[in-house]
Amino acid sequence: MSTPKTPRGDASSIASQDAHRNDTAPCAKRRSLLTAAAALPLFTVWSQPARAAEFNYKLATGQSLDQPINARLKQATDRIREASSGRLDIRFFPASQLGSDTDLLTQVRSGGVEFLNISGSVLSTVVPLAAITNVGFTYSDYQQVWSSVDGDLGKLVRAQIDKSGFVSVSKAGDNSFRQISSASKPIKTPADLQGYRIRVPVSPMFTSLFKALGANPTSINFNELYTALQTKLVDGQENGLVAIEAGKLYEVQKYISQTNHIWDPFWLLGNRRAYASLPDDLKKIVQREFDRAAVEQRADVEQLNTSLKEQLSKKGIVFDTANREAFRKALTDAGFYKEWRDKFGAAPWAALEAVVGKMA
């Protein structure tokens, strides 16, 4: 087997970012989607405006240049500069150039960085309600996802973000649905997970989910995952298709079960003081362009997931569809939904169930 390249982390935990930090060159399809980001020379990313700006801000992400979110955010910063006639210059620092996710959260709070794109699962370490979109086997499709995060549940999460010292700047982006992969067998029902050694990121929600399903979840950093699968330290793992392809996990896995067991958003955070200092006309430009970036990125990810399934199939991966209702029933019987309903509270849970149906 080929030697894996060392990725750059795991987007669903404090320690690392699975789907978003890797050194693997993007495939041809991804390049066609993400030319705006991947083709950027570094001097373009860091270039200064031709005229002095009234406001010089920074936007940081933990996602590598070949991710759709970076292409769209870079386009947004360019449009903001143009629409503001150079008054607001937002310099773009992707791929953890300014630090890890936890470092960046601290920097946004202190004002060292004015804007940050971050996954909901990582944000939940400081805004616990952000984990509500990670509840297992909740969303069945993107229609439910966007009805939820663009609706009442999204408003509740944004309110908690605003109470935590940040500002929620725009619509949520798509950090993708996660699937279960295996080297030995497809995972179609909860019975297939009994005693199953599965790698998960460092997250209470992820650990709770797989324990409730009878598996043995093990937290392993993404940069150690390929070796852990290769040496059979774990039997399988769970991630989005982007991470599976980028990390070459298809070389040490045979099956991918389309479970869609967890969906994770991207939230664009702002420093409260810096954002408040912008005049109203600039705030409108910022909100408009970052909202546009989020909507366009959502479409990019849907298209990318379709193309990656085709590419992974050609590499020998066998895709199966899981019995979601069986997984939901197992989680209900294990008290999983009741436990998290009690943690999140009645109002957020009701907002979630209004879209996806009753879970507990």
Judge whether residue 42 has pLDDT over 50: no
Res. 206: pLDDT tops 70: yes
Q: Tally the C-alpha atoms within 13 A of residue 276's C-alpha that lie toward its C-beta.
A: 8
Contact between 68 and 302 under an 8 Å Cβ cutoff? The reply is no
Structure confidence at residue 100 (pLDDT) = 86
Q: pLDDT digits over 154-183, tens only?
A: 999 999 999 999 999 999 999 999 999 999
Read off the pLDDT band of 12 (50, 70, 90).
very low
* DSSP state string for 280-337: HHHHHHHHHHHHHHHHHHHHHHHHHHHHHHHHHHHTTPEEEE--HHHHHHHHHHTTHH
Q: Give the confidence band of 33 by pLDDT, cuts at 50, 70, 90.
A: low
Q: Which of 39-43, 233-237, 253-257 has the lowest mean pLDDT?
A: 39-43
Stretch (H or E) spanning 262? strand 255-271
Which residues have CB under 8 Å from 86's CB, separation 6+? 49, 50, 51, 53
In the predicted structure, residue 37 carries a pLDDT above the cut 50:
no
* Secondary-structure class of domain 9-356 per CATH: alpha beta
Mean pLDDT of 38-55: 56
Q: Does residue 30 carry a pLDDT above 60?
A: no
- The pLDDT, as a whole number, for residue 51 is 65
Please state the pTM of the whole predicted model: 0.83
For the chain, what are the domain ranges?
9-356
State the Cα–Cα distance between residues 135 and 341, nearest whole angstrom: 10
Q: How far apart are CA 318 and CA 181, in angstroms?
A: 10
Q: How confident is the model at residue 284 (pLDDT cuts 50, 70, 90)?
A: very high
pLDDT attached to residue 32:
54
Among 1-15, 83-97, 230-244, the range scoring the smallest mean pLDDT is: 1-15
Residue 2's pLDDT band, with cuts at 50, 70 and 90, is very low
DSSP 3-state assignment of 352?
A: helix
